[in-house]
Chain A
Amino acid sequence: EAGVVQSPRYKIIEKKQPVAFWCNPISGHNTLYWYLQNLGQGPELLIRYENEEAVDDSQLPKDRFSAERLKGVDSTLKIQPAELGDSAVYLCASTPRGSHEQYFGPGTRLTVT
């Protein structure tokens, strides 16, 4: 079974530029999460989807961050415009219906210069 797929794996952009990350969860997983992981720290939840509905986005900085999960399958996280402090790893995770275990993808490492 394929795991959570994320792309790109690495991204370097200049500040004020837009950037987008893509996540394809494990097939059949209805819950999808986006996390932010700063260097040397634990992941912090940004947003959680149940199917196509964002059920918790309280930690998402909505002035510059946006996310969507059309059709309840893959998801895109966007930052516009990016700031230096956005440099981090962006992790996607998914959970199948009826389970609590979160399966993480490898992440996208963003560097803003």
Chain B
Amino acid sequence: QQQVKQSPQSLIVQKGGISIINCAYENTAFDYFPWYQQFPGKGPALLIAIRPDVSEKKEGRFTISFNKSAKQFSLHIMDSQPGDSATYFCAGRNAGNMLTFGGGTRLMVKP
């Protein structure tokens, strides 16, 4: 059962543009929603995270928007840079700190 669905699978954005990645979850027991960034040959690294009692969280160029009633959340990358080119994973966490990851989005930012 895929509990976290992520889209799109791949995304190409021009430098300076906005990258938007969407996720939908099914498990209402999730209490924390992190986004991870993964570069080739590296493990995922935490980028930004949000709790379900907050509708938006912003850190620098990265913003999470969260819609609890729709069970959806999204990552917005403002002023996208070539260095942002990576694979991004959303996830949901349950009370046991167990993460369920989405399928990933491969982002390419063109100079």
A-side residues, CB < 8 A to B, are: 4, 31, 40-45, 48, 55-56, 91, 93, 95, 100-102, 104-107
Find chain B residues with CB under 8 A from A45 CB.
98-99
Question: What range describes how many residues of B lie at the interface?
Answer: 20 to 34
Q: Pick the contact of B44 from A44, A48, A100, A104 — CB < 8 Å?
A: A104
Asked whether A105 and B43 contact (CB < 8 A) given A42-B91, A56-B96, the answer is yes
Find chain B residues with CB under 8 A from A41 CB.
103-104
B-side residues, CB < 8 A to A, are: 4, 6, 9, 32, 36, 41-46, 89, 91, 93, 96-99, 101-104
Most chain A beta-carbon contacts within 10 A, residue among B41, B89, B99: B99
Find chain B residues with CB under 8 A from A55 CB.
96
Find chain B residues with CB under 8 A from A104 CB.
36, 43-45
User: Nearest Cβ in chain A — how far from B31, in angstroms?
Assistant: 9
Q: How far is the CA of A40 from the CA of B104 in the complex (A)?
A: 7
